[in-house]
Amino acid sequence: MTRPEDFCKLFHHPTHGQILILLDEGADDGPLVRIHCRPAGFSVCCLDYPHPESDEGLKKARELFHGIGEEEASAIAAGMVAHMTEADTA
């Protein structure tokens, strides 16, 4: 039996906490890459990168998922925190 492909990645960042990258190929509106993090002082934050429900959309979602490493995940989490911090001060 062959091992199934990975559908998630988990990174640990000293400031942003755990960062989970999830590839959901069967989401209701088409495949998506979902990023979760829980930085200090916040509850779990989530950001979706949706793709069209098509062969090309699935291909693009898989490419995005496989292209996100620890450095990219940390940068995305930092952007999420910056956005939430700006919203709190507005």
Domain ranges of the chain: 8-89
User: In this structure, what token pair is assigned to residue 58?
Assistant: 């699935």
CA distances from 73 to 18, 39, 66, 88 (A): 10, 13, 11, 23
Main-chain dihedrals φ then ψ at residue 17, nearest 5 degrees: 70, -150
What integer pLDDT is reported at residue 85 of this predicted model? 80
What would the two tokens of residue 16 be?
Answer: 């942003």
- DSSP structure class, residue 67: H
Global pTM reads 0.86
Mean per-residue pLDDT, 17-30: 93
76 falls in which pLDDT band (50, 70, 90)? very high
- pLDDT band at 89, cuts 50/70/90? low
pLDDT digits (tens, 9 = 90+) for 34-71: 999 988 888 898 999 999 999 999 999 999 999 999 99
Q: What is the pLDDT of residue 70?
A: 95
